[in-house]
Chain A
């Protein structure tokens, strides 16, 4: 399946939950938020939400800013 993660497309085989994807991208959990196709996925649901072909995923965290 094809995923777009923070603007970069990625081909993957098999199923992949939000939790699995986040763990691959960033070690920390606190300070991280995920949206799939523009909808926020609460942290408590990361393990239950499987990603599907064509999904657009945003994984955001704290950056310096006023």
Chain B
């Protein structure tokens, strides 16, 4: 299984420094982190050696791609660079929302699955598109809770639950998480993992937030397994009326 046992994938984007990122990776206790692929002069040194030293696995992404063609090419470059079949497939529709372009995404997913990749698509919270991606052979689906970096949390929890019900592959809540309660909610809704970048790396204390997210994911997963009580419109006393004193 490519997902970390603790259910937390860390996105490495947005950190102020490599040192801060390293502390966050350690505190998250994750075994899988995302990386992007950029021209060597713009990428800056040291990221991969640090991740290798920590023993975490790399999940390359196709961030910044707007077409299936660009995303496929970037994925092929990532496989060559990192010697992994794993790819977080991102094909975005516009820069204002950074939401996925479902048509291009599905097209790229089909090509990459046929080429032997383990495709983890960043998708919208549309249950039908998620099912189409799973049917195309994607190894997981990763719906956005809300736009990347927005910190708005899970704007349509019902759709996330529908996706969990609709597909047989793991569901990873990707994008939009703002704080630990959002991560717990994702797991309570039945997600198998969460992918968090900005909410950790852009917080005031990335290492502390990484620890908070780790605990939240664990709490949410435990709560899901424990089975929550149904919601009721009115109260239901937890203390019996029998034996109450009369005055």
Q: Is A60 engaged at the interface, CB distance under 8 Å to the other chain?
A: yes
Q: Is A40 engaged at the interface, CB distance under 8 Å to the other chain?
A: yes
Report B173 CB to chain A, min CB distance, Å: 13
Q: Is B128 engaged at the interface, CB distance under 8 Å to the other chain?
A: no
Chain B: residues with Cβ within 8 Å of the partner, total of 39
Q: B80 contacts A63, CB within 8 Å?
A: no
Partner of A63, one of B11, B44, B49: B44
- The B1-59 residues at the A interface (CB cut-off 8 A) are 11-15, 21, 34-44, 47-49, 51-52, 58
Q: A66 contacts B37, CB within 8 Å?
A: no
Main secondary structure, interface of A, reads: mixed
Report A26 CB to chain B, min CB distance, Å: 5
Q: A66 contacts B39, CB within 8 Å?
A: no
Q: Is B197 engaged at the interface, CB distance under 8 Å to the other chain?
A: yes
Report A50 CB to chain B, min CB distance, Å: 19
- The B53-85 residues at the A interface (CB cut-off 8 A) are 58, 60-61, 63, 73, 76-78, 80-83
Report B183 CB to chain A, min CB distance, Å: 15
Return chain B residues, CB-CB under 8 Å to A59: 39-40
Q: A66 contacts B48, CB within 8 Å?
A: no
Report A19 CB to chain B, min CB distance, Å: 14
Q: B80 contacts A6, CB within 8 Å?
A: no
Q: Is B198 engaged at the interface, CB distance under 8 Å to the other chain?
A: yes
Interface residues of B (CB under 8 A from A): 11-15, 21, 34-44, 47-49, 51-52, 58, 60-61, 63, 73, 76-78, 80-83, 148, 175, 195, 197-198
The 4 A-B residue pairs with the shortest CB-CB distance, nearest first, are A65-B36, A66-B11, A66-B197, A33-B81
